[in-house]
Amino acid sequence: MITDLNRPSDKDLSRLASLLGDRITRDEPIGPYTTYRVGGSASLFMRAMSVEDLHAVSRALEKVRVPVLMLGRGSNMLVSDAGFRGLAIALGPFAEQILLPQPGQEPVLSVGAMASLPIVARQSVAAGLRGFEWAVGVPGSIGGAVRMNAGGHGADMIASLLSVRLFHLQRNIEANVSAANLGLRFRASDLGDEHVVLAATLRLAWGDKAEGESRIAEIVKWRRDHQPGGQNAGSVFVNPVSGASSAGALIDNLGLRGYRIGTAVISEKHANFFQADEGGNADDVVELMTFVRQRVSEAHGIELRSEIRLVGFSSVVAADAGAQTSTERRRDTQLEAAFGSSNTTDLSIPIPSYSEQLSEDVLAELADAFEGDATPTMNLKVVRPADTSGDTPQPEEPSTTSLTLKTNNGRVVIVDDDLRLPIDVDNPIDEQTSSVNVAPTSDPSNVIPESRLSSRRNQIAQKLNANRRRLVRGVFAVIGVLALVLGVLASPIIGVRTIQIEGARYMSADLLIAVEKSLNGKSILTVDTNSAARRLEGDPWVESVRIKQFFPTRLVIEIVERKPIAFYVGVDNRSRVVDAQGRVLAVETGQPTQYLQITGVGPNLAPGASAGTVYKAAAQLAGGLPEEIEDKVLNVGVGGPNQLLMTLRSGTLINFGPPNELQNKLVSLVVLLRRQDPRQIISIDLTDPRTPTVKSK
Ligand SMILES: Cc1cc2nc3c(=O)[nH]c(=O)nc-3n(C[C@H](O)[C@H](O)[C@H](O)COP(=O)(O)OP(=O)(O)OC[C@H]3O[C@@H](n4cnc5c(N)ncnc54)[C@H](O)[C@@H]3O)c2cc1C
């Protein structure tokens, strides 16, 4: 099949890269992602860590169109030396899960797209299933096998595939599509670059484990005897006509075993396997393919068709080498019509729900750890105004103002205490204010004689002078006291000389020294402990600071630091140490293995920043492990924005599902591990903590 050769401009590539931010690496060599291990780089590369990353790609592709290439395990792909001009996507560990049924259950498996075929084959046999042994010698992924309808030894994907979980990059939707709608045919399907296989559901049959194991051994031996190792992508050409001569036989008949062009050579062991030398190049392989096709065409009149996907070659080169053209893919297929409409296969394997009581200790530990659950759905209380019965603020008392009503001889006067002058204290309110709002009167008794008026004026003037003198004396007294206080404060007798620090372990020593310096020598009475505490609280490790002053010269700085719980590795490959709230405390180059690891590749956060919901929940999970199971846990993990995982030291994989109900899920886990030795358990699904599903060995 020929890759979409619409060459995107540099501008489009840059735009897509900036839309996808730090999810993207540029000019990533993708040759090493293939079993041929030759070829160039992808202009843009993303390892999707979750389906959310694919949604982000979809949204970005709506704005700028760029060819997309899904990479599986690269065992059916040859990348040109010029590389791939577009966005190459590989799925991360979230797509590697293998969920096997228990004996007595439907023999149905759910397998992530990146799960390796040989591992699925071996695990299914170990679980007593038969029907997938053929895949043990096919070094690809489930996703690649679905798209190519891989097969061998008389079987192929069609034989067992029930449905696939697909993400549609153009339509930005995810759906289960039944196998019947995938257009599966010999080494091909209707899946295009817009269809991302996320997982597959396979129906096998219960069988005899020993028989399965001997079949596996037989297949492995046959492969070793008949196929070469080294750098290749399996059969190069599709067998032309079923039942007639194989492509290998046609090439062999021409005596081409061992034929070499540059760094590419036809295998001596199998004429349809073309090997690349170590450090070789893809263009030699494609040239060899073109040469062989020509020879077979001339000798037998048969046009061989490439089984290998040729990536990044010009359409002419790819067509000469026998690549399918994209028009060979069926258009407007059932696949598009059926997308999202088929039913989901229910894979849950319920076990009886737990009834044992947990000890008070475990419950107390859990309650403590999850008091402030980091996950958004927990402990979230929406308080509407009507709910606030107890807390409803009472209607405010009318504030007491200085405005009062007084009567003066039956007349209403308005008295504003705030506006009264200090000198008025000697005079009754009514006298002072009686002139306010008093209507002019014609009553002669109200007329005051001139002699009384002038003696009154003198009295007032004397009082005013006396008041002024008192005021001046008071001001000088205050200034004197202030000067004395300042003198004492500035005196070295009460300057800070001893600073005692408690609780600092991880925080920056430089910051501590700087703050100490800023406090040293300051008066114990006036030293600004608040701003010093705020400075220290700026350190990501510091949760709170209290500075106590002890007269005459001692300060005690009490520091409460955050507790490092776990670490995750960011996209930049540097470790982020986080606390139980998912707050990044430090960024380190190595792996601080003294803490629990949160697997998965997380965001490149700086110290002080808080991780997103799922990492927060993973940190909380790591910090909330009851003592009873703490030693059994190897790591916690993030499988996507909605999936928390945990691996036990026994190898048991635990799917916590979405990051909610963590306390209940842990309760469920503790109960399960009390019942059953984890060494006997392959996996536990706690998505619904009330009905956990357990896959035992
Ligand atoms: C030594 C050897 C032996 C082999 N024997 C056999 C054999 O017996 N039978 C056989 O059929 N094949 C065989 N192959 C070829 C190959 O292993 C299979 O085709 C395999 O299924 C490809 O899977 P992959 O993950 O490596 O796909 P890749 O090579 O990575 O990709 C193949 C195609 O699938 C697409 N793709 C990959 N992942 C996804 C996804 N998640 N969603 C959507 N599209 C995706 C890619 O874009 C590409 O178009 C052999 C290869 C080797 C090296």
Does residue 555 form part of some domain? yes
Does residue 434 form part of some domain? no
**Judgement on whether residues 168 and 191 belong to the same structural domain of the protein:** yes
293: domain CATH number is 3.30.465.10
> Which region among 201-210, 242-251, 516-525 has the lowest average model confidence (pLDDT)?
242-251
Q: Comparing 431 with 34, which gets the higher pLDDT?
A: 34
Q: Is the pLDDT of residue 269 over 60?
A: yes
Q: Sorting pLDDT into bands at 50, 70 and 90, what band is 434?
A: very low
**Judgement on whether residues 557 and 576 belong to the same structural domain of the protein:** no
What number is the average pLDDT over the span 459-468? 84
Given 47, 85, 187, 293, which residue is catalytic? 187
Nearest residue by C-alpha to atom 21 in ligand 1: 145
Q: What phi and psi values does residue 341 have, to the nearest 5 degrees?
A: -100, -15
**Judgement on whether residues 147 and 264 belong to the same structural domain of the protein:** yes
Q: Comparing 43 with 677, which gets the higher pLDDT?
A: 43
- 83: burial class by Cβ within 10 Å (0-12, 13-18, 19+)? buried
Q: Does the bond joining 552 to the residue before it have cis omega, within 30 degrees of 0?
A: yes
Given 41, 124, 163, 235, which residue is catalytic? 235
Q: Is the pLDDT of residue 428 over 80?
A: no
Q: Is the pLDDT of residue 350 over 60?
A: no
* CA 200–ligand 1 middle distance (angstroms): 15
**Residue 121 in contact with ligand 1 by CB distance below 6 A:** no
**Mean of the per-residue pLDDT values of the chain:** 82
Percent of the chain with pLDDT over 70: 81
**Judgement on whether residues 85 and 127 belong to the same structural domain of the protein:** no
Nearest residue by C-alpha to atom 10 in ligand 1: 150
DSSP 8-state secondary structure symbol assigned to residue 217: H
Question: What residue numbers bound the domain in which 499 lies?
Answer: 493-561
Which pair of structure tokens corresponds to residue 543?
A: 């949760």
Length of the chain: 697
**Residue 247 to residue 252: CA distance in whole angstroms:** 8
Most confident listed range (24-38, 333-347, 438-452): 24-38
CA distances (Å), origin 125, targets 136, 200, 205, 472: 10, 18, 10, 103
Say which residues have a Cβ less than 8 Å from residue 122's Cβ, sequence separation at least 6. Answer: 136, 216
Q: Which atom of ligand 1 is found nearest the CA of 33?
A: 30
Say which residues have a Cβ less than 8 Å from residue 148's Cβ, sequence separation at least 6. Answer: 76, 140, 187, 188, 189, 307
**Residue 572 to residue 297: CA distance in whole angstroms:** 50
* CA 36–ligand 1 middle distance (angstroms): 12
629: domain CATH number is 3.40.50.10960
Residue (of 191, 215, 190, 199) closest to 126 by Cα position: 215
88: domain CATH number is 3.30.43.10
**Residue 78 to residue 317: CA distance in whole angstroms:** 13
**Residue 628 to residue 612: CA distance in whole angstroms:** 28
Q: How far is CA 29 from the centre of its chain?
A: 25
Does residue 408 form part of some domain? no
**Judgement on whether residues 114 and 80 belong to the same structural domain of the protein:** no
Does residue 55 form part of some domain? yes
Nearest residue by C-alpha to atom 52 in ligand 1: 234
Q: Which atom of ligand 1 is found nearest the CA of 228?
A: 1
- 127: burial class by Cβ within 10 Å (0-12, 13-18, 19+)? buried
* CA 278–ligand 1 middle distance (angstroms): 21
Annotation says 554 is catalytic: no
**Residue 272 in contact with ligand 1 by CB distance below 6 A:** no
pLDDT of amino acid 547: 94
* CA 227–ligand 1 middle distance (angstroms): 16
pLDDT of amino acid 444: 45
**Judgement on whether residues 177 and 301 belong to the same structural domain of the protein:** yes
Q: Sorting pLDDT into bands at 50, 70 and 90, what band is 209?
A: very high
Beta strands in 323-410 (DSSP E): 403-408
Q: Which atom of ligand 1 is found nearest the CA of 195?
A: 43
What number is the average pLDDT over the span 569-595? 89
* CA 190–ligand 1 middle distance (angstroms): 15
pLDDT of amino acid 612: 84
**Judgement on whether residues 545 and 599 belong to the same structural domain of the protein:** no
Does residue 347 form part of some domain? no
**Judgement on whether residues 527 and 549 belong to the same structural domain of the protein:** yes
Helix, strand, or coil (residue 561): strand
Q: Spell out the alpha helix ranges (H) of 100-232.
A: 117-126, 142-148, 209-226
**Judgement on whether residues 541 and 609 belong to the same structural domain of the protein:** no
Q: What phi and psi values does residue 545 have, to the nearest 5 degrees?
A: -135, 135
507: domain CATH number is 3.10.20.310
**Residue 148 in contact with ligand 1 by CB distance below 6 A:** yes
pLDDT of amino acid 168: 93
Domain end position, chosen among 561, 580, 603: 561
Nearest residue by C-alpha to atom 49 in ligand 1: 309
* CA 191–ligand 1 middle distance (angstroms): 13
**Judgement on whether residues 312 and 198 belong to the same structural domain of the protein:** yes
* CA 140–ligand 1 middle distance (angstroms): 5
**Judgement on whether residues 627 and 687 belong to the same structural domain of the protein:** yes
Q: Which atom of ligand 1 is found nearest the CA of 91?
A: 41
pLDDT of amino acid 4: 42
Domain end position, chosen among 66, 93, 120: 93
**Residue 129 to residue 98: CA distance in whole angstroms:** 14
**Residue 499 to residue 145: CA distance in whole angstroms:** 68
Among 30, 34, 71, 75, the mutation site with the greatest number of ligand 1 atoms within 8 A of its Cβ is 75
Annotation says 235 is catalytic: yes
**Residue 144 in contact with ligand 1 by CB distance below 6 A:** yes
> Which region among 17-31, 448-462, 502-516, 680-694 has the lowest average model confidence (pLDDT)?
448-462
pLDDT of amino acid 689: 83
- List the beta bridge partners of residue 206: 129
**Judgement on whether residues 165 and 267 belong to the same structural domain of the protein:** yes
Domain end position, chosen among 70, 93, 116: 93
Does residue 545 form part of some domain? yes
Q: Comparing 359 with 499, which gets the higher pLDDT?
A: 499
Does residue 391 form part of some domain? no
**Residue 600 to residue 638: CA distance in whole angstroms:** 5
Annotation says 543 is catalytic: no
What number is the average pLDDT over the span 80-97? 94
Among 57, 148, 219, the mutation site with the greatest number of ligand 1 atoms within 8 A of its Cβ is 148
* CA 148–ligand 1 middle distance (angstroms): 6
**Residue 178 in contact with ligand 1 by CB distance below 6 A:** no
Give the amino acid at 660. Answer: N
Q: What phi and psi values does residue 46 have, to the nearest 5 degrees?
A: -140, 135
Number of domains in the chain: 4
What does pTM read for this prediction? 0.56
Residue (of 641, 627, 628, 672) closest to 654 by Cα position: 672
Most confident listed range (370-379, 390-399, 623-632): 623-632
Q: Are 90 and 98 in contact (CB under 8 A)?
A: no
Does residue 75 form part of some domain? yes
pLDDT of amino acid 571: 83
Q: Count the neighbouring beta carbons within 10 Å of the beta carbon of residue 346.
A: 9
**Residue 323 in contact with ligand 1 by CB distance below 6 A:** no
Percent of the chain with pLDDT over 90: 50
**Residue 623 in contact with ligand 1 by CB distance below 6 A:** no
* CA 119–ligand 1 middle distance (angstroms): 15
Q: Which atom of ligand 1 is found nearest the CA of 227?
A: 1
Q: Comparing 452 with 260, which gets the higher pLDDT?
A: 260
Apex 520 CA angle, 517 and 524, nearest 5: 145
Q: Sorting pLDDT into bands at 50, 70 and 90, what band is 375?
A: very low
- Give pLDDT tens digits for 27-82: 999 999 999 999 999 999 999 998 889 999 999 999 999 999 999 999 999 999 99
Give the amino acid at 680. Answer: Q
Given 28, 307, 336, 561, which residue is catalytic? 307
